[in-house]
Amino acid sequence: MTKFSDLKLSPKVLKAVEEAGYETPTPIQEGAIPPALEGKDVLGIAQTGTGKTASFTLPMISKLARGRARARMPRSLVLCPTRELAAQVAENFDTYAKYVKLTKALLIGGVSFKDQDQLIDRGVDVLIATPGRLLDHFERGKLLLTGIEVMVVDEADRMLDMGFIPDIERIFGLVPFTRQTLFFSATMAPEIERITNTFLSSPARIEVARQATTSDTITQAVIQFKPTRRDRAGSEKRRIMRTIIDSEGEACTNAIIFCNRKTDVDITAKSLKKYGYNAAPIHGDLDQSKRMEVLQGFRDGTIRFLCASDVAARGLDIPNVSHVFNFDVPGHAEDYV
């Protein structure tokens, strides 16, 4: 069995990994870390929850430990589809770079440009960003991408769903041709295939995802109902959900409730609160500080029911969730998984 100590990570990174309680890499980590350390491009096809974040943060930290950043010229770039995923990647760097002197900046919406500008001006080794915010800084002349040595695209399939592909292509055109690219996607749609063929150079391809498969440890059920009247469908569906929650009793310690529209997220959270359930909404219209506050409340147990739009919650690392309710049928099989 392969251990992290077999993967040729730097001793300081290995120490941080072991202190975090990990000994054995996941399949995506075992497959992606060696070629990434060798400087090769990597195409990782892996679902959320497979440990893919560490499969690019660990080799990046090992490589970036050598060298220094210059003002406004970051040395590496990680692109994420949402603010929350970007913040999660930043936490990953904090965990694994604790013994390495690396600087980082998080460029996401909902945070003032001034604070982000100050970090960039000092020079950063790692820039973690959503595509739109990155281009905002670039267009304001605050950022040069000509020093990028390593570029990561995380959750590329979600970027496609959210319409970010033109931005991604533009960013690829702004970074050096000689950079190393680490590219991760849960699925390989034709558009994703086209991008990887265009911008990756002879990548090591690591595929560990079983296509759209749920975990064997999850019990699944479908609830079918016919509303008495069309205009009552929403309220009757909410009543049925409350009945299910009550019937689960103490087994339902907490739950994420997915709705397809932001308005339904708000209505569902408001309705649950009205009936005495501890619930809060999370979606893209909330400002960043509120979203992080809600997420933290759910993680520490002060919020029991997290009502979420799929885009706001996909890929988040939230431990110990007992139940998931798809209040609406998800648009894609991958979203359900």
Find the mean pLDDT for residues 63-70. 83
Q: How many residues comprise the chain?
A: 337
State the Cα–Cα distance between residues 19 and 8, nearest whole angstrom.
17
Predicted confidence band of residue 49 (pLDDT cuts 50, 70, 90): confident
Amino acid found at 52: K
pLDDT over threshold 60, residue 310: yes
Asked if residue 212 has pLDDT above 80, the reply is: no
Region 190-213: what's the mean pLDDT? 86
Percent of the chain scoring above 90 in pLDDT: 58
State how far the Cα of 179 lies from the Cα of 139, in Å rounded to an integer. 21
pLDDT band at 333 (very low <50, low <70, confident <90, very high): low
The alpha-carbon radius of gyration of the chain (Å, integer) is 21
Query: What's the pLDDT band for 334 if we cut at 50, 70, 90?
Result: low
Average pLDDT across the chain, whole number? 89
- Please give the domain boundaries of the chain with CATH numbers for all domains: 4-207 (3.40.50.300), 230-336 (3.40.50.300)
Find the mean pLDDT for residues 1-11.
Answer: 91
Q: What is the pTM of this model?
A: 0.71
CB within 8 Å of 166: residues ≥ 6 apart? none
- What is the structure's pLDDT at 314? 62
pLDDT at 125 over 70: yes
Confidence (pLDDT) at 332:
67
* 221 class by beta-carbon count within 10 Å (0-12 exposed, 13-18 middle, 19+ buried): exposed
Convert the pLDDT of each residue in 239-271 to its tens digit.
999 999 999 888 899 999 999 888 999 999 999
State the helix-helix crossing angle for 131-139 and 113-122, rounded to 10 degrees: 70
Asked if pLDDT for residue 230 goes beyond 90, the answer is no
pLDDT at 115: 82
In this model, does residue 304 exceed pLDDT 80?
yes
Work out the average pLDDT over 195-219. 82
Please give the pLDDT value at position 110: 76
Stretch 66-94: mean pLDDT: 89
Q: Is the pLDDT of residue 19 over 60?
A: yes
Rounded mean pLDDT, 202-207: 95
On whether the CB atoms of residues 157 and 192 are closer than 8 A, the answer is: yes
Highest mean pLDDT among 45-54, 205-214, 312-321: 45-54
Helical packing angle, 11-19 and 83-96, nearest 10°: 110
Give Cα 321 to chain centroid, integer Å. 17
pLDDT value of position 270: 94
Q: How far is CA 150 from the centre of its chain?
A: 18
